[in-house]
Amino acid sequence: MMIPPVPWHRPLVRVAKGDRVVLLHGLWRSVWSMEGVAEYLHGEGFETLNMPYASFRKPLDEIIEDVAAEIGKSEKTTHFVTHSMGGIVVRLLADRFPELVTGKIAMLAPPNQGSEIIDWLSDSFVGRWALGPGGMAMSTEKTPREIPGLKLGNEVMVIMGQSNPIPLFRFLLDAENDGIVSVEKGKLEGMSKFRVRSGDHTFIMGRPEIQAEVGEFLKVAGPQD
């Protein structure tokens, strides 16, 4: 018997006349975690496609194929706003399906050089089970070696948080971190804008000032400092 997808397993679309923005959530999350950003951007005139994907149930190769098939090619300029693992997904998407990534990319708390937390969890059976094949790909060893950089010339903004509400993980991270990813690990070669803001890893995309900064980045034409 086929079970129909529950609401958080379906893309959430808001139609508008402006450019299209695809939103990609992080590991263990769902479309609901990106709904605040989607609502804000739609209010600013963007068409939004809030995309779910099986972040911990499938390997990245399958995730990319699923996401690409769901997004489809559009006549509109298509920007991306990602949280955490979503930044890794869009890098692979841009490498394999460059025709789908035609606009700017705003990455929130991305583990662009991997995360020490993933390294730590990968040392145990329970941790490996929880991460799944997709999460395991974000180790500090695998990410720099296996995830391609962005070669399309897209403008990329990276925003990292610097609040750490999780004392358990402090011993694993650099002094400046968001509780899951060290600020330095968020940097990506070729990025056009890098900002460190108040906020923790889990909820950074829900902060109104972050949403406004993302909206401004997507709207302004040309390179930005």
pLDDT digits (tens, 9 = 90+) for 196-224: 999 999 999 999 999 999 999 999 765 45
- Total tally of structural domains belonging to the chain: 1
User: Buried b vs exposed e over 181-207: b needs ≥16 C-beta within 10 Å?
Assistant: bbbebbebeebbbeeebebbbbbbbeb
Of 60, 65, 144, 125, which is closest to residue 97 (Cα–Cα)? 65
Which range is least confidently modeled, 34-38, 56-60, 81-85? 56-60
Instruction: Check whether 1 has a pLDDT greater than 60.
Output: no
pLDDT digits (tens, 9 = 90+) for 164-177: 777 667 767 767 88
Residue 149 lies in a domain: yes
Residue 95 lies in a domain: yes
Q: Which two tokens stand for residue 34?
A: 């990106």
Residue 223 lies in a domain: no
Residue 222 lies in a domain: no
Residue 127 lies in a domain: yes
Domain that holds residue 121: 7-217
Give CA separation, 43 vs 16, 76, 169, 208, 210, in Å. 9, 18, 37, 13, 15
Residue 163 lies in a domain: yes
Instruction: Check whether 49 has a pLDDT greater than 70.
Output: yes
Residue 174 lies in a domain: yes
The CATH number covering residue 35 comes to 3.40.50.1820
Instruction: Check whether 7 has a pLDDT greater than 50.
Output: no
Q: What is the mean pLDDT of the chain?
A: 88
For residue 161, give the H/E element and its range.
Answer: strand 156-161
Give the pLDDT confidence score for residue 224 in this predicted structure.
Answer: 52
Strands across the sheet containing 156-161: 12-14, 47-51, 20-24, 78-83, 105-108, 156-161, 193-197
pTM of the model: 0.91
Residue 82 lies in a domain: yes
Is residue 201 a contact partner of residue 130, using CB atoms and an 8 Å limit? no
Distance CA 123, CA 157 (A): 32
